[in-house]
Amino acid sequence: MRSQPWGFDCRWFSSPSYGVVSFIVLFVIVFLASGSAQGAQLTVAWDSNNEAGTAGYKIHYGMQSRSYTSTIDVGNATQHVVTNLQAGAVYFFAATAYDENGNESDYSTELAANTPSAPTPETPVDSDGDGLSDTDEINIYGTDPNNPDTNGNGRSDGEDLAYWSDDWNGDEDGDGIINLLDPTPTRQVPPTEPGDKKVDMSAILTLLLD
């Protein structure tokens, strides 16, 4: 379904010297389309002409009014996607019709249209200001996006991640808690169990001293 023309009305235009191509009525409607990898694009559409002998249409456009730097022969089509346009810019469009001998009509009424602006990258949300995005804290690291120091060790989650680097999800002390979430991720020396036998070295020392 076509949108309404943006302040653009039909214009009768004649080209007496062109003979067959005369009294043609055209109007152009522009549909906005999202930007692509090749740049912004606009879809230009118009009503077909009922004049006998009309062989096709041309779309003329540029970035200055009535100064068209590009022309596209679209044949008998009644709409065309104009690609590789600069994003966030104003372009001016006009249409002409031509007959099978190549005779071309005057320009239609001009239409100005803005191309879609280039999408801007979204800034990751970091609710607790710890240097890690909320999305990464939830989906990757398992830290609390609302607490800058999830493990309570006095360093921020971002600082802990920088400290552990690629070993952030290791378990340094074997306690079942990954390093990034462990407040004291240091391997502890097991305490001496009661009843452990100790070797009395006194006799050996006495022998060596004699």
Evaluate whether residue 5 is within a structural domain: no
Q: What is the CATH number of the domain that holds 23?
A: 2.60.40.10
Average pLDDT over residues 118-140: 87
Residue 71 lies in a domain: yes
Residue 43 has pLDDT above 70, yes or no: yes
- CA angle 4-7-10, nearest 5°? 80
Higher local confidence (pLDDT), 21 or 92: 92
Same domain assignment for residues 93 and 158: no
**Does residue 4 lie in a domain region?**
no
Is the pLDDT score of 26 beyond 50? no
- Residues 133 and 76 reside in one and the same domain: no
Residue 68 is assigned to a structural domain of this protein: yes
Instruction: Please check whether residue 181 lies inside any domain of the structure.
Output: yes
Structural domain harbouring 52: 11-114
- Asked if 100 and 178 sit in the same domain, the reply is no
Residues 146-176: tens digit of each pLDDT: 999 999 998 999 999 999 999 999 988 888 8
Confidence of residue 5 (pLDDT cuts 50, 70, 90): very low
Rounded to 5°, angle at Cα 119 from 115 and 120: 135
Q: Which two tokens stand for residue 85?
A: 């346009």
Among 80, 98, 114, identify where a domain stops.
114
